[in-house]
Structure 1
Amino acid sequence: MDLVSIFGILLALTAIIGGQVLEGGHIGSLLQLTAFIIVLGGTTGAIMLQSSPKIFFEGMRLAKWIIWPPKANQQLLIEQVLTWSNLARKGGLLALESQLEQLQDAFTKKGLQMLVDGAEPEKIRVALEVEISTYEKHHLDASRVWQAAGGYAPTVGILGAVLGLIHVMENLSDPSKLGAGIAVAFVATVYGVGSANLFFLPMSGKLKYLIEQEVVMREMLIEGLVSIANGENPRVIESKLQGYII
């Protein structure tokens, strides 16, 4: 669980709501169902129109990474590669076959299987790099769903404000209805700008960072597998892989 993300969300909400209270306003004045429907529905519709179904739903799925990011333990990966390297030096590449059953990640399993099958080092690198490229493009496209949401939400918020003002103008003869229309107008803008800058754009940035981390982990794995295939010394392999860690 990413506690920093949780704290960031709580801090942002506390700052906005706290500022409203400090200015003498009421929290209830920020709760407008109509404005919420306009901004959320309009933004969702816009990003659905922009994205293919596969990319849209993948973007929604990636949202959980903000709180529960994928585990990217680089040091643990280095230890795993060194274990394989030592096994290969003692019993040959076929000795690594017993390690396949322990692997859950399909990418890692494929790479190790190619190594056990005796594939040429360069063929291992090329095959796995193609998978990395596809993985990176697919996930970056999915993360841009939230970037797009951050671009559309403020505009949809302004649209909600205009709709609220239209409602006000239509009811100038009835002062009792003016307050609701004005509230929707301003709160829709708050929802649009706030959701974009406090949630959607930061989420997109965080997802891109996490995807980059996943790509680095896979590049480390490729380097380790190719080094084992080339019969390099485990200490040399460790030194090479440590270079990926910042």
Structure 2
Amino acid sequence: MDITTLMGIVLGAGLIIWGIVTSGDLGNYVDVASIILVIGGTITAVLASYPMEKLKKTLTITKIAFQNRSHSPTNIMKEIIELSSVARRDGLLALEEAGNKAEDEFLKKGIMLIVDGTDPELVRNIMETELTFLEERHADGRGLFDSIATFAPAFGMIGTLIGLINMLQGLDDPSTVGPQMSVALITTFYGSVLANAFGMPISAKLKVKSKQEILMKELIVEGLLSIQAGENPRIIEEKLKTFIPPELRSEMGNSGEGE
């Protein structure tokens, strides 16, 4: 599990509660009608924005924000270099056994395409098409939380307008102005918290995770095509090092480092 996602949400909520408690009464910030309006309104707006089937698929993507992927770019590089050594020594057909053992489905698919003798250009097209659809699925996942970050403040404002209308209707009784104004502002508060402490951070985390996964799969595509082209494992290693930051290249050894 990616503890930073959960930690960020929990600490954010904790800081908000701390700020409330140290400056006033926590009970003043609790209004059931406002909570229902903001959370319920946001949920209904999201439901209206997504077809049910797409919404179900999108929700499964959001778990990425809370997961730690076991594969790192350096591990994938080492695996590809090992595959290139096998292919150079025993031929491309020898990769079939390694392909069956591969844990990464994207890597396994690419290996099998090569073993089947698929044209290199077609291999690239197939793998890059899969990457394109992967990016689209990830964008849908982020879009869900972007929608939450958009709709929550909007429903908070709607609640504020409702509260202001009620306040204006009761101006003949000055004692009700303060409580009515307080309730009116609470819905805006709830909307801002939901957007900034939940929707936007999860969307940002999914974007980071998506970039990491896409980078790893682009590395796989380049590595497999280099293997298919019969390039030297040493050349493949140097080529793949360009995909990762300099500070991670040391994990692959000091060779090829010019920095």
Tell me the TM-score normalized by structure 1.
0.89
d(CA) in 2 for partners of 1:106, 1:115: 14
d(CA) in 1 for partners of 2:217, 2:54: 22
Residues 10, 190 of structure 1: CA spacing in aligned structure 2 closer, same or farther, 3 A cutoff? same
RMSD value, Cα: 2.3
Aligned residue pair count: 245
d(CA) in 2 for partners of 1:33, 1:85: 62
Q: Percent of aligned positions with the same letter in both sequences? A: 36
User: Structure 1 residues 154-163 or 103-112, which shifts more?
Assistant: 103-112
In structure 2, the gaps of 5 or more residues are 246-259
Q: Which residue in the other structure is 1:79 paired with?
A: 78
Q: Following superposition of structure 1 onto structure 2, how do residues 21-170 of structure 1 map, counting pairs within 5 Å? A: 21-23=21-23, 25-168=24-167
Q: Which residue in the other structure is 1:8 paired with?
A: 8
d(CA) in 2 for partners of 1:71, 1:182: 51
Tell me whether 1:216 sits opposite 2:215 in the alignment.
yes
d(CA) in 2 for partners of 1:121, 1:100: 17
Deviations 1:19-49 (A, max 9, x none): 11221x1223223222111111111111222
How far is the alpha carbon of 1:177 from its aligned partner?
A: 7.9
User: Structure 1 residues 115-124 or 235-244, which shifts more?
Assistant: 115-124
How far is the alpha carbon of 1:72 from its aligned partner?
A: 4.4
d(CA) in 1 for partners of 2:5, 2:18: 19
d(CA) in 2 for partners of 1:35, 1:52: 27
Deviations 1:197-231 (A, max 9, x none): 12111211211121111111110000010000000
Q: Which residue in the other structure is 2:252 paired with?
A: none
Tell me the TM-score normalized by structure 2.
0.85
Tell me whether 1:231 sits opposite 2:230 in the alignment.
yes
d(CA) in 1 for partners of 2:195, 2:59: 16
d(CA) in 1 for partners of 2:190, 2:60: 23
2:149–2:194 Cα contact (<8 Å) kept: yes
d(CA) in 2 for partners of 1:101, 1:38: 52
Paired amino acid for 2:20: Q
d(CA) in 2 for partners of 1:176, 1:65: 50
User: Structure 1 residues 88-97 or 98-107, which shifts more?
Assistant: 98-107
d(CA) in 2 for partners of 1:135, 1:65: 13
1:55–1:142 Cα contact (<8 Å) kept: no
